[in-house]
Structure 1
Amino acid sequence: MKTLRFISILEGTSLILLLFIAVPLKRAMGMPEMVSLIGPIHGGLFILFNLLLASSIPRFGVSVKHALIGFVASLLPFGSYIFKAKILNKY
């Protein structure tokens, strides 16, 4: 469970970096290499977070409802932080 909490923070941070730093740099400053760097990192962390979340249902007793909330939270900026604080810290 400690790993899932840590990955949730990394995934959330990578999404924020992608949306609020890399994409504006690409659009405003013509620097697509930032998205090329941060995009795959975020994609890998997103997949890893959701795989860990799905595997935590049988291993740690995370409810399916909480896992679905976690998936939706991983799609939203700052969602992973809120999910960790409100739900993951209970397990």
Structure 2
Amino acid sequence: MLETTINRFRLAGFIEGGSLLVLLFLAMPLKYMADIPEAVTIVGSLHGFFFISYILIIAYTTYKIRWSILWVFSAFIVAFIPFGNFLLDIQIKKKFA
């Protein structure tokens, strides 16, 4: 699966998008409903690492396959939207697979 640049990007999108969902739908409720703030500290740190890695992979993918500015902008924006990476992945599969 990781043989092409676009597949590496897709994997990074799944990891980053999944970490956002875990942060929003697991760690945040644990912090505010169960009074376990450590959940956000741990998951938030991991998500931050995955987010920075995702941004670097966007840059790498743009360099390798000469993405248009629309793809770059879309890839960046969906990182802030829950389930956004998964929706972008559908579009990437249609266009590049």
TM-score (norm 1): 0.92
Report the Cα distance in structure 1 between the residues aligned to 2:34 and 2:25, rounded to whole angstroms. 13
SS at match of 2:82: coil
Secondary structure in 2 matching 1:62 = coil
Match of 2:79, SS state, is helix
Does 2:53 align with 1:48? yes
- Corresponding residue pairs, total: 90
The TM-score, its normalising length taken from structure 2, stands at 0.87
Which whole-Å deviations, capped at 9, do the CAs of 1:43-70 have from their partners, x for residues lacking one?
Answer: 1111111111122112112211111011
Tell me, which stretches of 5 or more residues in structure 2 are unaligned? 1-5
Partner of residue 25 from structure 2, selected from 1, 8, 20: 20
Matches within 5 A, 1:1-16: 1-16=6-21
Q: Percent identity?
A: 32
Q: Which letter maps to 1:28?
A: M
Shift of 1:5: 0.7
Q: Which runs of 4+ in 1 moved over 4 A?
A: none
Question: Would you tell me which structure has more helix in proportion to its own residues?
Answer: 1
Structure 1 vs Structure 2 CA RMSD: 1.0
Equivalent residue for 1:57? 62
Which ranges of structure 1 fall in alignment gaps of 5 or more residues? Answer: none
